[in-house]
């Protein structure tokens, strides 16, 4: 019944690690893909904070990484609020 339905999104087992390159259509992501990506970026951010605090990542490099992650998060989140 659902085998030929192109609108059904295939469940990806790597849900906790979804990034824009994992989206089925990068120009038109689904809400599911956007939310999964936002959750992934939050996890990456938290992991980066732990790496900085434990000394695995130098503080100046870690701060740059955190800025990049936060910028990507805001960019992805803005997709949800685009005027239609």
Question: Per residue, what are the HEC states of the chain?
Answer: CCCCCCCCCCCCCCHHHCCHHHCCCCCCCCHHHHHHHHHHHHHHHHHHHHHHHHCCCCHHHHHHHHHHHHHHHHHHHHHHCCCC
- Cα dihedral 42/48/49/53 (nearest 10): 160
User: Is the pLDDT confidence value at 1 over 90?
Assistant: no
Q: Which residue has the tokens 């503080």?
A: 59
Mean pLDDT confidence for 56-78: 95
Model pTM?
0.75
Lowest-confidence segment of 14-18, 59-63, 80-84 by average pLDDT: 14-18
pLDDT 10s digits, 9-50? 555 555 568 888 888 898 889 888 898 999 999 999 999 999
Q: Where residue 84 falls among pLDDT bands split at 50, 70, 90?
A: low
């Amino acid at each position: 019944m659902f085998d030929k339905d192109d609108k059904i999104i295939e469940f990806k087992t790597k849900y906790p690690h979804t990034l824009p390159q994992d989206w089925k259509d990068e120009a038109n992501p689904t809400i599911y893909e956007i939310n999964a990506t936002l959750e992934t970026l939050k996890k990456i951010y938290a992991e980066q904070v732990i790496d900085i605090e434990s000394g695995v990542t130098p503080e100046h490099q870690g701060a740059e990484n955190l800025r990049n992650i936060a910028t990507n998060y805001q960019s992805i989140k803005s997709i949800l609020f685009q005027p239609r």
